Structure 1
Amino acid sequence: MPDLSSFLNGACVDSAVFGLRPDYRVLLLAVDGITPGASDQHSEALLAAAEAAVRELDGHAVEELPPIASWRDAYRAFGAKPQRTRNSLEALTRRAGSEAGLPRVNRLTDLYNAVSVLHQIPLGGEDLNRYDGPPRLVRATGEEPFDTVADGADVVEHPEPGEVVWCDEIGVTCRRWNWRQGRRTQLADDTTTALFILDALDPLTDEALNAVADDLLAHLARLGPDVRSARRTIRA
């Protein structure tokens, strides 16, 4: 069983990332003791609530919502084109408001996707046991490997130099801050220990950031009798 606090204490955000956005904060939430399971009534109700919340925007442009607009600016700061590579929050919010709705994957993934949309914050979920070393947020050299799928085939890509990426000792775990996760550390149907990455920019306050983590943890506590957690916030 991993030492959650020790794992989080090794995490870091490079100063070059804070140079792009001094207002950036990340709350890392490590959770163990999860009992895996398929989508259930609780996760379905959360997803439905998230979809309903987006439908109530009444035609407001998704890209103009303050949290999403802030992340679009952050993407432009390192050279990404936000209209082509949408941050995870924008992608989920758009999908929640579409006819297709949010994906139904498994109850763990469903919970964090719903919480992301409901609280309007980019929120990543990773299998902590698949990490080699702690997570680091850096500006890429362009040499780091990133395992993904293209045209149905497994491929290894590389980030653009200067791109903001999450990585461990093996390679990139998520490209463009919170755009696309790698396959190696993604949540699976047998995940019992997870890392959740809650990315915050202004106008989201520290109080609101911790409230999101509290809400997520309250839902995760339903996923097993022995769920335990640790959290850490990193800021400039």
Structure 2
Amino acid sequence: MAEDPMLSAAVERAYVDDAVFALRPDYRAMLIAAEGLVPGPGDEISETLLAEAESIARARLAEQAVEEIPHIAAWRNAFRAFGAKPQRTRTSVEALMRRAAGGLPRVNRLTDIYNAVSVKHLVPVGGEDLARYVGAPRLIRAGGAETFDTVADGHDVVEHPDVGEVVWCDDLGVTCRRWNWRQARRTQLSEHTATALFVFDALDPMSDSELHAAVDDLDEHLRRLGPAVTTVRRLIARTNDSQEVPSC
């Protein structure tokens, strides 16, 4: 099957601002784009993956407080570095780990799969609907004027990130605030998403081999969602050639 140019563009045009690497030189982003997905609500497969992740999380938390787990402690320090308070603004994987005892959320097939992978491998993972994406994904430190569409008190609202906040964005605005804290509504995965971009955010002590293992795990599950599933991936690290990053 021929590779869709949109998949290649989604990962090849993505970049991370040097200001982010200055904040955390150990940061790596692994992007995996997928097409040919068969979307839908949660099913027996996604339920099994979530149950397995819950069991793994509970076993870890029986031995160590969530904030003391090295992979999560590293993200709490990263959040402090740009002014976020980790007690109030938790990285996505910490938020999931804290919910594991009472049960992880059930959202839809794609979201449930990547949440299970996130918990299993202790790495923040985000999912974006590529059909709703405009322009190249980039990770920057916000200027404060960027827009972020979300919901507050049951109403649609547009917010703006704090100056210096680390955000993922595209040409239309912020797609995820505070590195991997909260996703914009516009690009959320749904029961109709057939082409998606998944973002893995890694810091030391997560090794490159651990990061690749997590991505391989997701890739394997995605390919089971349909006979025509195709994926493309790319690792972005400080050792890569730096690129100029336009504003959102």
Cα displacement string for residues 63-110 of structure 1 (whole angstroms, at most 9, x for unaligned residues): 11011000000000100000001010100010112x2x1111111111
1:95 and 1:59 map into 2 onto residues whose CA distance is 16
Q: CA deviation at 1:2?
A: 4.8
- 1:184-203 matches, cutoff 5 A: 184-203=186-205
Contact conserved, 2:143 with 2:162, CA < 8 A, in 1? yes
**Structure 1: unaligned runs, 5 residues or longer:** none
- The correspondence for 2:65, drawn from 56, 61, 67, is 61
Q: Counterpart of 2:72 in structure 1: which amino acid?
A: I
Deviations 1:135-164 (A, max 9, x none): 000000000000000000000000000000
Q: Of residues 69, 76, 81 in structure 2, which corresponds to 1:72?
A: 76
Instruction: Identify which range, 32-41 or 64-73, moves more after superposition.
Output: 32-41
2:43 corresponds to which residue?
40
Q: Tell me how large the CA RMSD over aligned residues is.
A: 0.9
Report deviation, 1:215.
Answer: 0.6
Rounded Cα–Cα distance in structure 2 between residues aligned with 1:80 and 1:38: 34
2:25 pairs with 1:16: no
The residue matched to 1:173 in structure 2 has which SS? strand
Provide the TM-score with structure 2 as the length reference. 0.93
SS in structure 1 of the partner of residue 233 of structure 2: strand
Q: 1:128 aligns with which of 123, 127, 130?
A: 130
Kindly provide the amino acid, as one letter, of the partner of residue 152 in structure 2: A
Q: Residue type matched to 2:206 in 1?
A: L
CA distance in 1 between counterparts of 2:132 and 2:41 reads 21
Q: CA deviation at 1:40?
A: 1.1
Q: How does 1:102-121 map to 2 (within 5 A)?
A: 102-121=104-123
Return the TM-score normalized by structure 1. 0.97
Gaps of 5+ in 2: 239-248
Aligned length: 234
Matches of 1:14 and 1:95 in 2, distance apart? 32
Q: 2:93 aligns with which of 79, 89, 93?
A: 89
Q: Which amino acid aligns with 2:35?
A: D
Query: Is contact 2:130-2:187 (8 Å) kept?
Result: yes
1:30 counterpart residue number: 33
Query: For 1:114-193, what aligned pairs fall within 5 Å after superposition?
Result: 114-193=116-195
Identity across aligned pairs (percent)? 65
- The aligned amino acid for 2:76 is R
Residues 109 and 191 in structure 2, CA contact (< 8 A), matched pair in contact too: no
